[in-house]
Structure 1
Amino acid sequence: MCAAAALALQLWPAHTGSPGPLPPRSKAAPHPVPVTDADSAPVRLRVPALGLTAGVLPLALDAAGSLDVPGFADAAKAGWYALGPRPGRPGPAVFVGHRDAPGNTYLHGRRVGPARLRDGAFARIGRLHPGDRVDVERGDGSRVAFRVTRVDTYPTRRFPTARVYGPTRDAELRLITCGGVVGPDGHWDANVVVSAVAVAGSGGR
């Protein structure tokens, strides 16, 4: 099952941390953070090649310095790191989401049977290819289109923080989820990172 992303390296202004690989998840539900200039904040993520449409939760860091991800009740949503760049502006806008999440079977409002795994919003992002499109809808209804440039899987212990989160001249996008294989501890041992760049004239600012 997927996890929250931990603070690893200061790459943005000093008051903001940049997240690192996705370590074992916390069971605590995250709290969406208020955003200024809601018109430019992302509200929806679309990936046509996967048939994916996901709402967006603006999230920050938890008390342990880890980047929150949507809680399991919101596993169909993507979490946006609201302390980093906004989609369409210079730098990598970071979105994280669950690959899978526990689900329960209910009967007449009561849980019956053991929990089962279900797909999260980012269950299939590892299937994307360079050239595929990712659209981000902002609060004012405008959209920024991104073109996938690479899809990588990195072992958690060798996560290239600077490459993934480092400043960029252009508007870029990072979609991150768990990957690799599930180890004896029940956690994935790697991260899938989809990188994309804004399409010229698509609404970037």
Structure 2
Amino acid sequence: MTGKRVTLNSASLVGSIRVDSRSSSYERRPVLVPARSGLVGDGVIVATKPIVPPTPAKKPMLVVPVPQPVRPQPSVAIEQPPVTYVPPAVVASEPVVSSTFLPAQPKKHNKTSLALVTMAVILFVAGISVVIVGFYQNNQVATQVKNVAQSVVGTTASRQPDETKPDAASQSSYTVGPTKPRMLIIDKLGVNARVHQLGVDSNNELQTPNNIYDTGWYDNSAKPGDAGGAILIDGHVHGPTQPGVFYKLKTLVAGDIIKLERGDDTVYTFKVVKSQTYPVDNVDMNAAIVSAVPGKLGLNLMTCTGSVNTQTQSYNERLIVFAVAE
């Protein structure tokens, strides 16, 4: 025995493969290495202590926690303290601003607002009515003016009116249409005369009644009961030998009363506001068929006045008395 150690590098282990097939639970046990002895010299053998290799540290094992089953816990009623509602304090001086958006509430109109709206509607309708009526009246007056603007009022030498005075029976039996003027009454002058419907003649002259005691209503002027314009009535101031129905017309003054009876027996009252005299060749026919007071029905009475032209047997002036409905 030579006493040599066998190691992994020994020639006897050349070509061998060492496989470590230890399990994970392998625990290395300490190996006692016998004491070695060796020759120091001169045949002296020195013994050594056995060598104990160090114990390797154990590898920590992987511990996988196992979930524990959840057991139902008994329900425990928790007593809630009583809740007392405390209304929020209202501060009068500072308005509370809320961030909550509420839907718009319809406004409530009080009686005053409703009355104002109703009044506004009534005024609007009334205004429209006034405009329409005014437009109608203006057109009506414009037509009347156009028809008589060139007329010459008066009685020519070739027209000799009748001077026979109508009796009471002929006056009471006299009839016209229900909306046309029938009788003219002027108590101050003692006038109670029939009213005949007249126009203009072939010479574009305003016609006059055939009797000096009658009057003539120009049929293109207004009628009794109309909303505006003026009723134009003419009459003779004198006949060939006798005074006519309007002989004293120039004595009427502002405030005197004139009455006009319609065919349906309705009586309309007018009050004189003024009178005007025009030259025969410059009669204002526009004024003759327009009310002296805008917005009121007018009654204009026309007759001859001034001096008589011996050649034409006509007067050189015309008188118009203006009255308005009361």
Cα separation, partners in 2 of 1:23 and 1:75, compared to 1, 3 Å: closer
- Output the amino acid matched with 1:121: V
Alignment equivalent of 1:140, drawn from 258, 264, 267: 264
- Output the amino acid matched with 2:196: L
Partner residue in 1 for 2:153: 22
Runs of 4+ in 1 over 6 A off after TM superposition: none
Q: Work out the CA distance in 1 between the residues paired with 2:215 and 2:272.
A: 17
- Output the amino acid matched with 2:231: A
**Alpha-carbon distance, 1:126 to partner:** 0.6
Partner residue in 2 for 1:5: none
Identity of aligned residues (%): 27
Normalised to the residue count of structure 1, the TM-score between the two structures is 0.73
Q: Work out the CA distance in 1 between the residues paired with 2:181 and 2:221.
A: 12
How many pairs are equivalent? 167
Judge conservation of contact 2:182–2:261 (CA < 8 Å) in 1.
yes
Judge conservation of contact 1:12–1:18 (CA < 8 Å) in 2.
no
Q: Work out the CA distance in 2 between the residues paired with 1:14 and 1:157.
A: 19
**Alpha-carbon distance, 1:143 to partner:** 0.4
Q: Work out the CA distance in 2 between the residues paired with 1:190 and 1:118.
A: 19
- Output the amino acid matched with 1:22: V
Structure number with the bigger relative contact order (C-alpha 8 A, sep ≥ 6) is 1
**Alpha-carbon distance, 1:184 to partner:** 4.0
Judge conservation of contact 1:101–1:120 (CA < 8 Å) in 2.
yes
Judge conservation of contact 1:81–1:95 (CA < 8 Å) in 2.
yes
**Alpha-carbon distance, 1:81 to partner:** 0.7
Is 1:188 the counterpart of 2:309 in the alignment? no
| Structure 2 residue matching 1:38: 3-state secondary structure | coil
Q: How does 1:66-145 map to 2 (within 5 A)?
A: 66-71=205-210, 74-89=211-226, 90-102=228-240, 117-145=241-269
Cα separation, partners in 2 of 1:83 and 1:120, compared to 1, 3 Å: same
- Output the amino acid matched with 1:92: A
Is 1:153 the counterpart of 2:290 in the alignment? no
**Alpha-carbon distance, 1:188 to partner:** 1.0
Alignment equivalent of 1:61, drawn from 200, 216, 226: 200
Judge conservation of contact 1:12–1:84 (CA < 8 Å) in 2.
no
Cα separation, partners in 2 of 1:83 and 1:16, compared to 1, 3 Å: farther
**Alpha-carbon distance, 1:15 to partner:** 10
- Output the amino acid matched with 1:177: T
Alignment equivalent of 2:296, drawn from 160, 170, 185: 170
Normalised to the residue count of structure 2, the TM-score between the two structures is 0.47
Q: Work out the CA distance in 1 between the residues paired with 2:235 and 2:268.
A: 19
Q: Work out the CA distance in 1 between the residues paired with 2:245 and 2:184.
A: 10
Q: Work out the CA distance in 2 between the residues paired with 1:188 and 1:144.
A: 31
Judge conservation of contact 2:152–2:205 (CA < 8 Å) in 1.
no
Q: Work out the CA distance in 2 between the residues paired with 1:143 and 1:126.
A: 24
- The answer for unaligned runs of 5 or more in structure 1 is 1-9, 30-36, 103-116, 200-205
Cα separation, partners in 2 of 1:23 and 1:140, compared to 1, 3 Å: closer
- Output the amino acid matched with 1:76: Y
Q: Work out the CA distance in 1 between the residues paired with 2:322 and 2:189.
A: 16
Q: Work out the CA distance in 1 between the residues paired with 2:252 and 2:184.
A: 15
Partner residue in 1 for 2:180: 41
**Alpha-carbon distance, 1:182 to partner:** 1.7
**Alpha-carbon distance, 1:169 to partner:** 3.2
| Structure 1 residue matching 2:260: 3-state secondary structure | strand
- Output the amino acid matched with 2:322: S
Cα separation, partners in 2 of 1:147 and 1:176, compared to 1, 3 Å: same
